[in-house]
Structure 1
Amino acid sequence: MEAEGLTKYFDGVAAVEDVSFVIRRKEIFGLLGPNGAGKTTTIRMLSTVLAPDAGDVCVGGHSVIREGDEVRKRIGICPQELALYPELSAVDNLVFFGRMAGLSGHEAKARARAVLVGVGLEARGSEVVKKYSGGMQRRVNIGIALMNRPELLFLDEPTVGIDPQSRNHIFETVLALRAEGTTVLYTTHYMEEADRLCDRIGVMDRGRIVAVGTPAELKRQVGDPDRTTLEEVFLHLTGRSLRD
């Protein structure tokens, strides 16, 4: 995926301005930034939800502006908010969203079974989602984004509010997806997550990309990469002032 000069204005104010970066195939790319940095607006443009005022994004060689339908076939989106039907079972949720993605009934059922194994819920897939723990619901949320076998997966803060066991399982799932060839864009406010998972990281602040590099490369900007934390890098790049 390649973003070039992405810009978006709201009421005459630039929420995102001239943002350019590349996500390489089969890598986990972290997009970090304080509240109000422009991450959500950027992700909405990358995923065809919001049209940019300037610039473009290409996913697998397809423009989000001119070939939005082709891009949507190649991406999966797991939002921070749970996008589930609580009265349905996990498997029925997956089948429903699989059909929405264009799978046949047979394909959706087969894919749902495979996805449940991947997210560790194969033994409880027939239970209604409202009975699940928060961590289990998060894993179904990720599963929905995987139903169309995306080349590029957007994970927007997938570990918010869950226990360490569920969090660790999500880490393992993300790493397994990369090993299988899926490219991942990962957002989080947990710096240790980004340090552990991401091959490269882009840091946003005030609507712009202020740094891109591997965790070690970013740490070298501040000090010894073996002693410097990613949180120290983040505060160095974006400041210590509180954000609304």
Structure 2
Amino acid sequence: MSLREKLKALEELQQIDLEMNAVRAEAEGLPARRAELEAKVSEAQRAYEAEKGRLEDNERERRQVESLLAMERDKVKKWEGRLGEIKTPREYAALSREIDIAKKTNETQSEQLKTLAAAAGTLRAAVDQRAEELSEREMATQSDRQGLEQAEAEMTRRLGELDARRAEAVTRVDASLLSRYENIRRRRAGIAVSPVVGATCTGCNRNIPPQLSIVLQRADSVETCPSCNRIIYSAAAVNPPAPDPA
């Protein structure tokens, strides 16, 4: 196998590894996307529960006021029934005064009950709105969950396919080059091989010395970038353009 062929095999392996890294990076983002979906549902649930709690507080207060109002009205009826039995003007005046006070209290409680009833209508509408929003969010989230599950399944399939391709590609890479490649890849964020385009290493975007450019054009030795220490090769020499048809 010529050095040019060895470099092409290494180039193919690098491309497979980059694709695998991209798929793994995408897969690593799935838990955060799931958490974001659940957070939106939780937010809608909290909003619904808050409105529901306010309505329940309103209903509880209305029941208390209704109970007190019923008791006070019964009390007024009893007192009014006793007025005819009172013999002294003094007792009559005292009881009449108590009845007047109780009636005014009842009027205040009646107004309070009307206010609470009006507020209850607004609160019910808010609860209904929050319930609808929660239902819509749950439906949307269910759809999004299914989308994430499908994406995860697709990523698993792609990784399996890439694993098989990598295992086959490794067999075509020179053993000494493979060891060197793996060492550099660990130290250089997964990129161990970089083509040189013009006079620039695409791994670090720095120019290489002119003499090294000449050496790379011959494609008869393994060279590394003086700046980033990645394995470099001339893209034009390793993958020459196809000749124009005559």
- Whether TM exceeds 0.5 here: the answer is no
Q: Quick check: which one's strand share is greater? A: 1
**Larger relative contact order, structure 1 or 2 (CA cutoff 8 Å, min sep 6):** 2
**Which has more radius of gyration?**
2
Q: Quick check: which one's helix share is greater? A: 2
Q: TM-score with structure 2 length normalisation?
A: 0.22
Q: TM-score with structure 1 length normalisation?
A: 0.22
